[in-house]
Amino acid sequence: MAATSRLHKSAGTLEILDLRHFTSAELRPLLEEEARAWAKVLSWDYASSSEMILRYVDAKVLPGYAAVENGRLRGYSFFVYEQNKGVIGDLFASAVLNGRSGVVEERLLNHVIETLQQSPGIHRIEAQLLIHDSDVVAGPFLGAGFDRYRRLFMLWPLRGAGRPPLTIPPPAGIEIRRWSEQDFNATAAVITAAYQSHVDAAINDQYRTVGGSLRFLNNIIRFPGCGIFDGDSSFVAVTPTRQIVGAILCSRVRSDVGHVTQVCVTPEFRGKKIGAALLASAAAALRRHNFSAMSLTVTEANAGAVDLYERLGFTTRRVFDAFVWEG
Ligand X SMILES: CC(C)(COP(=O)(O)OP(=O)(O)OC[C@H]1O[C@@H](n2cnc3c(N)ncnc32)[C@H](O)[C@@H]1OP(=O)(O)O)[C@@H](O)C(=O)NCCC(=O)NCCS
**Binding residues for ligand X (CB under 6 A):** 194-195, 198, 263-265, 270-276, 298, 302, 304-305, 307-308
Rounded to whole angstroms, what are the CA distances from 265 to 68, 197, 237, 271, 280?
47, 14, 8, 9, 14
Q: Return the number of the residue (64 or 275) whose C-beta is nearest ligand X.
A: 275
Question: Smaller CB distance to ligand X: residue 127 or 203?
Answer: 203
In sequence order, what are the beta bridge partners of 189?
none
Largest Cα span, the chain: 69
Q: Which is nearer to ligand X, 121 or 304 (CB)?
A: 304
What's the distance, CA 140 to chain centroid? 20
Q: CB 325 → ligand X: shortest distance, Å?
A: 22
| Closer of 97 and 130 to ligand X (Cβ) | 130
310: phi then psi, degrees, rounded to nearest 5: -65, -40
The nearest distance, CB 153 to ligand X, in angstroms, is: 11
Q: How many CA atoms lie within 13 A of 191 on its CB side?
A: 27
Nearest distance from residue 281's CB to ligand X, in Å?
A: 12
Shortest spacing between CB 217 and ligand X, in angstroms: 15
CA gap 306, 191 in Å, rounded: 18
Give me the residue whose beta carbon is nearest to ligand X: 275
Closer Cβ to ligand X, 16 or 285, answer by number: 285
DSSP category for residue 67: E
Q: How far apart are CA 40 and CA 44, in angstroms?
A: 8
CB closer to ligand X, 123 vs 150: 150
Q: Could you tell me the smallest distance in angstroms from the CB atom of residue 317 to ligand X?
A: 15
Question: Whole-number minimum distance, CB 309 to ligand X, in Å?
Answer: 8
CA distance 250 to 246: 14
Nearer of residues 76 and 216 to ligand X, judged by Cβ: 216
Instruction: Give the helix/strand (H/E) hosting 120.
Output: none
Q: What's the CA gap between 41 and 78, in Å, rounded?
A: 21
The nearest distance, CB 186 to ligand X, in angstroms, is: 15
Give the DSSP H or E segment for 229.
strand 228-229
Q: How many residues does the chain have?
A: 327
The separation between CA 165 and the C-alpha centre of its own chain, rounded to angstroms, equals 27
